[in-house]
Amino acid sequence: MNAIEQQMLEQIADLHAVPSGAYNIRKDGQSVGRNSTAEIRIIPQEDCDGIAIHIAPNTKNQSVHIPVILAESGLQETVYNTFYIGENCDVVIVAGCGIHNDGSADSEHSGVHRFYVGKGARVRYVEKHYGEGSGTGSRIMNPATVVYLEKDAYMEMEMSQIRGVSSTNRTSEIHVGDHAEIVLTERLLTHGTQTAESRVDIFLDGEDASARILSRSVGQDESVQTFFPCMTGNQKCFGHVQCDSIIMGNAKISSIPAIRANCVDAQLIHEAAIGKIAGDQLLKLMTLGLTEEEAEEHILNGFLK
């Protein structure tokens, strides 16, 4: 890969070289590197563009990387990836997409991910989106994620949009079984005239299922963001939705959390807050020698961590 593509890999997957273990690296619509292990098999989908990842039961302390890079201006693709995670696994999955667009045509990646998480399994899923390039063409990302958690399963999802994505329309649908738990953290930065919409639907279908949604976003310049997190409790369960946003410049942010209880023993909470950076925070950092711009950047970096 050239220097630009390597830099994008570092941004979206923290990769400085070909990873050890299982991986699939996709570039401009094609797989340019793939490796399976005894416990993690990666094979092409038979009926669509994408891959199936099979993780054997009881696989522990292993990871799989599946980053995507688009460097060809005007390329538009939809990719379907399916994860089959066996019982009692403990694994890390690192995904993400970077688009470099120096042309005038729009570049777009739509990734459709399905997760089937077996009983007692633990999964940490990290997904980062990043855009760059000097062209006038847009950098568009529309991820869709569907998750099914079986009994006693646990999944931690970290989904971030770092910078440079012209528009995104993200949907997440998660079904939580008996005694299972999902923790979803979404971090989003928009600037310029970028737009972002995120819809999260979590269904607490199992007894003593639990879920947490933490959304943190920063809207700068003329950008527009809209969030629709929804938690539905169908059994005795616990759910918490928290949306915090910092608004700057002439940005517009809408946060519309919803909770729905279909059982008398469902305990659901939602919170939402939108505000600007507090003046006393800026002043305190500026007294330590930072400029106003440096102080703002320091606060935003800490907020989005």
Instruction: Enter the pTM of the model.
Output: 0.93
Kindly state the tokens that stand for 49. Answer: 């563009």
Instruction: State yes or no: pLDDT of 170 exceeds 80.
Output: yes
pLDDT in tens, 52-83: 999 999 999 999 999 999 999 999 999 999 99
DSSP letter string over 147-160?
Answer: EEE-TT-EEEEEEE
Residue bearing the bigger pLDDT, 288 or 33: 33
- Please check the confidence at residue 262 and state whether its pLDDT lies above 80: yes
pLDDT digits (tens, 9 = 90+) for 81-133: 999 999 999 999 999 999 999 999 999 999 999 999 999 999 999 999 999 99
What would the pLDDT profile of 175-199 be if each residue is shown by its tens digit?
Answer: 999 999 999 999 999 999 999 999 9
- SS3 label, residue 3: helix
Phi and psi, residue 221, nearest 5°: 60, -120
Task: Quote the tokens at residue 245.
Answer: 């946003």
What does the pLDDT look like over 211-247, one tens digit per residue? 999 999 999 999 999 999 999 999 999 999 999 999 9
Structure tokens at 208: 């003593």
Q: Spell out the domain ranges in the chain.
A: 3-276
127 contacts 162 by C-beta, under 8 angstroms: no
Token code pair at residue 13: 């997957």
What is the rounded CA–CA span in Å between residue 112 and residue 99? 17
The SS3 call for residue 292 is helix
Collapsing DSSP states into helix, strand and coil, what is residue 249?
Answer: coil
> First-to-last CA distance in the chain?
29
- Provide the pLDDT for residue 305: 78
- 3-state SS assignment for residue 120: coil
Cα angle 25, 133, 94 (rounded to 5 degrees) comes to: 30
Residue 72 has a CB neighbour count (10 Å cut-off) of: 16
pLDDT at 17 over 80: no
